[in-house]
Structures are given as structure tokens and as C-alpha cells.
Amino acid sequence: PKISFVNASECTKWRKCAEMISLHSVEELMLVTCQKLRQDGKSEIANSVAEIVSGKQILKHVDIRPYTDEEALSFFVEGKLTKFQYKLMRLQAKERGADLYPNYHRILEAKRRCYPDNISISDQSVEVSLQSLLDHTATRLIEVCKPVLCNVNPFLLENVELIVKWGFDGSSEHSQYKQCSFNCVED
């Protein structure tokens, strides 16, 4: 009985390869290998093999992990970048073959997701219902903790409680600043 190449021993595999190598040139073997890779839907690998064998380019494998929308927003804010600076940096990275940064509109969408629903903004104030703020806080916490929560027994997640504290007695350590707008009168 004939054993398939995959199930054959290393010694048998080497012997079969040696026979093919002695009968065919590097170019023929490369062409057949590339055709088989393309047939199996691995065109990028086939192109890389062709480039390496032809000596045109020695490829270094670099694992490029693009920023998520939230990571890019954090990078944008922490770096105090302007819209122009971000777009320029994104374009320069793309021109060098590293599509690292999401589109600027996706950053704006990520920023919008940071705000709770039903928020009212005017020149003098910003108002949001406490329930809306708590719902948003809980949702964002769950989103951030999702990788951990996926490994927790679902029974333990049936009754989860969000405990928060906010004080107007100075315990929150937020300073009060006098801010004056068009129609306000200072004390």
C-alpha cells in the first residue's frame, strides 16, 4: 500500500523531494509551487515565494496590527494631535505600506461613543440625566471588560451591580472655577 506524502516519514519525504529536485530546475519547482498556492487561495504567499526565489526582494515578516478606533482616539488625544497632523501621519504610514491608523471619521465616531445619550449642551451648561450617565458608564465598562467577562461563568453575571460614588461636598476633588459667558454676572 502506498502512503500519502503527508503521512509519510521524514526520511521518505526527503527521498521523494530529492527525486523531484534532481529532475526539475528551481524555476520549474517555483512555478509549480506558486500555481498550487494560488489554486488553494493563497495568492499573497505565492507572490512572496516568487519574489524570494527570484532574488528581487528578501522579505522580513512584520506583524502590523492596525489601531482600533478607540486606540487611535486615545493616541490622538494623548498626543494632542490636530486633525491635519493625524491625517498627515496616517497618509505617510499608508504610503510606506503600513495601514495602521483608521480613517479620521472613525475616530470621530469613537469619540461620539464616549458621550452618553440625551446630553444637552449650551453656552452656560451641560446637562445629562443621571440614569443616562450610569447606563453609559456601565455599557462602556462592560465593553472594555468583555475579553475577561467572556471567560466568566454566565451564572455569575446574571445579577451584576454597579456601585458608584459622586460627591458635591468636595470629596470628588474637583475644583470649582468661575466661568463667565455672555450673559452671566460675576459674584
**pLDDT value, residue 106:** 97
Q: How far is CA 160 from CA 62, 84, 116, 154, 157, in A?
A: 42, 43, 21, 11, 6
| Distance set, CA 159 to CA 146, 156, 162 (Å) | 16, 7, 10
Contacts of 72 (CB under 8 A, 6+ apart): 101, 102, 106, 107, 110
User: Smallest Cα–Cα separation from 46: which of 34, 62, 58, 63?
Assistant: 34
- The amino acid present at 180, given as its one-letter code, is C
Whether the pLDDT of residue 62 is over 90: the answer is no
Mean pLDDT of 60-85: 90
> Does pTM top 0.85 for this prediction?
no
pLDDT band at 104 (very low <50, low <70, confident <90, very high): very high
Distance (Å, rounded) from C-alpha 134 to C-alpha 131? 5
User: Rounded to whole angstroms, how far apart are CA atoms 28 and 67?
Assistant: 41
- The C-alpha cell at 152 is 466568566
Residue 84, pLDDT score: 97
| pLDDT higher than 80, residue 56 | no
Cell of 179: 466661568
The winner for highest mean pLDDT among 19-28, 99-108, 121-130 is: 99-108
Enclosing H/E stretch for 124? none
The strand pairing partners of 121, in sequence order, are 126
Q: Which residue has the higher pLDDT, 155 or 177?
A: 155
Looking at residue 19, its pLDDT comes to 83
Mean pLDDT of the chain: 84
pLDDT of residue 108: 96
pLDDT at 165: 78
